[in-house]
Amino acid sequence: MRTSVNIIRMPVVLLIIASLFPFFANAQKSKPEKGKVEIIQDPRIDILVSKQIQINQKQDGLEGFRIQLFSESGNNAKAQAQSVQDGFRARYPEVEAYLTYKSPNYRVRVGNFRTRLDAQYFVNEISANYQNAFIIGEHIQLPKD
C-alpha cells in the first residue's frame, strides 16, 4: 500500500516543480550588461584572407550564370540580335545585355548572376516577354560595388 501512495505523490511533486520552473528561469531579467568578445585565431588566417583578396582583385570575373535570349545564324542574324538586345535594354535597363558572335551564331545573353537560383528568379520574371530564355553557365563580370 505504501508504494502506491508514493507513486501517486510523485506526479504531484513533479507538477509543482514544473510549474515553479518558469519563475526561476526568469530570475535573470536584470539589466543586460555590455560585454567584450575576444577572438583568438592563428595569425596566418589574416595572411590567407589578404592573399585571397589579392587573387580575387586580379581576376576579371568569376564563374556564374547568364540567361540566353537569342541565338541565330544567317543573313539577318546580327540585326535580329541587335534588335533583341535593344528591346531588352529598354525593358530592363538595370541588367547588362551582351551581344556576342561565336561562329556561326550571334547570341544575346543577359545578366551577371552568381547563383543558378538568382538566374531562375529572373527567368521567371522575364518569361512573359522571352519564352525561350534559358540559363547558361558562363564567366561573368564582378559585381560593381
Q: What DSSP line would sit under 7-37, residue for residue?
A: HHHHHHHHHHHHHHHHHHHGGG-SPPPP---
Specify the pairing of strand 97-102 against strand 134-140: unpaired
- Domain containing 87 equals 59-140
% of the chain residues with pLDDT over 70:
82
Residue 1 has pLDDT above 60, yes or no: no
Q: Grid coordinates representing 116?
A: 543558378
Q: Which of 27-31, 96-100, 105-109 has the lowest mean pLDDT?
A: 27-31
CATH code, 88: 3.30.70.1070
Residue 32 is assigned to a structural domain of this protein = no
> Could you tell me the pTM of the whole model?
0.61
The confidence score (pLDDT) of residue 3 equals 52
- Residue 2 in domain: no
What is the rounded average pLDDT of the residues 40-51?
93
- pLDDT on residue 116: 97
Tell me the per-residue pLDDT of 9-39, one tens digit each, with 9 for 90 and over: 667 777 777 776 666 665 555 666 788 898 8
pLDDT, residue 4, reads 54
What are φ and ψ of residue 116, in 5° steps? -65, -35
Residue 39 lies inside a defined structural domain of this protein = no
- Counting the structural domains of the chain, the total is 1
109 found inside a domain? yes
Is residue 51 situated within a structural domain? no
The pLDDT, as a whole number, for residue 56 is: 76
The residues, ordered by sequence, that sit 6+ positions from 47 with a Cβ below 8 Å of its Cβ are: none
Model pLDDT, residue 141: 85
